[in-house]
Amino acid sequence: MQEVYELRKELDRQHEIVLVGDSDHFEFTPSNPWVAVGWRKPKQIKVDLPDTMKKHGIEFHGQGVKRLNPESNRLELNDETTVEYDYLVIATGPKLAFEEVEGLGPDGGHTQSVCKTGHAESSFTDFEALVKNPGPVVVGAAPMASCFGPAYEYIFILDTELKKRKMRDKVPMHFVTPEPYIGHLGLDGVGDTKSLMESEFRDRHIQWTTNAKITKVGDGTMEFTEVDEDGNDKKQHELPFKHSMILPAFKGVDAVMDIEGLTNPRGFILIDDHQRNPTYKNIYAVGVCVAIPPVGPTPVATGAPKTGYMIESMVTATTHNIAAELRGGEPDERGTWNAVCLADFGDTGVAFVALPQIPPRNTNWASRGKWVHLAKIAYEKYFLHKVRTAKTEPYYEKTIMKLIGVERLKESR
């Protein structure tokens, strides 16, 4: 969304901008854990795209892409129509690889998800069943997962809601993760996230298992293997559950999978320092679909997350680089890939700043407090306002970020 707005702002009206998606609405994904416990209705975090795009001079197609043909600069859409392009920005997000673990996922499996708003809505239905018939809860992430924040948010928000209903004592909770330690987050921690998260788990009486490789999910049972520091199987576990939310591994979407020179083996888009694909020079990529190596080896494979502000820096760099090419120049901007994150825990939360996101860092800071919960609520309203009004980076946002040392673009060398 931000990409098309920034391009529309940067380029004059002689340049046609087309947005192709697989849905007629935008979802504010960070609010999905709230949807999953009934704190938000799906309609509250959605923005209708056809009318919004038309209002801002952007052509929109919501059929979804069946296949990208980079040799001919063409997209095949799911309704058999095609869209041709001069420049393409891939911002598809991931394919949710539930199929990599037997029994995982909300569609034909036995676990819930907060990766999509529709999934979160289904998870709320399952949560209501838990309230009527309390029992154990298992939350966590599958092997090769890269986005761990929503799992932490969800288990703490669930804990908070169950306490409000005076029934937390009837619901044992267990957190199962491939991370080598609690608070790793796919980033080797940020600041003191290890101690902060472990303290939160202890305060809330939540058990945890790290270095865990989920192997199979049945109807009410979860099987996983705990491995040692060398990656060797150490102990087999089987946990019962009445309600479970497990984040899956991510892959590239089918439309780009196995295109030589464009993607890595898991379908993520290969890019250079300027967000441009090295093989197809008129293709850029931003966000979760981008290929980024993991932060160091871990006993159970994990990926590196692409956090919100990191993605915004990719978007700004891409916009400037495409504009430079259209003026006859070469791409010269690079995103900072800085991370500024607010993780809501229902009644408190953890904020962290990692500059840059991938170590080694110039800034490595984390803090816990009720203010984070309130800031997350404010940010939700602010971001949805930006989407509805086609705002990119208002001066006050830019000023606040500068005050804490956060920039979207690297200084030219």
Catalytic residues: 147, 341
For residue 403, what are the contacts with CB-CB under 8 A and spacing of at least 6? none
Residue 90 in tokens: 């891939």
**CA atoms of 3 and 364, how far apart (whole Å):** 28
Cβ atoms of 248 and 95 within 8 Å: the answer is: no
**CA atoms of 254 and 270, how far apart (whole Å):** 15
Long-range contacts of 41-49, Cβ-Cβ distance < 8 Å, separation of 24 or more = 42/117, 42/118, 42/120, 42/121, 45/117, 45/380, 45/384, 46/117, 47/384, 47/387, 47/388, 48/24, 49/19, 49/21, 49/23, 49/24, 49/25
SS3 readout for 192-239: CHHHHHHHHHHHCCEEEECCEEEEEEECCEEEEEEECCCCCEEEEEEE
Helix (H) or strand (E) holding 363: strand 363-368
**CA atoms of 375 and 372, how far apart (whole Å):** 5
Unique residue bearing structure tokens 């705002």: 391
Q: DSSP label at 249?
A: P
Strands (DSSP E) contained in 147-194 are 173-176
Residue 258 in tokens: 């196995």
Among 11, 6, 25, CA closest to 86: 11
Identify the three-state secondary structure at position 129: helix
Among 358, 303, 357, CA closest to 97: 303
Query: What sign has the CA pseudo-torsion 180, 354, 96, 110?
Result: positive
Query: What sign has the CA pseudo-torsion 132, 197, 216, 236?
Result: negative
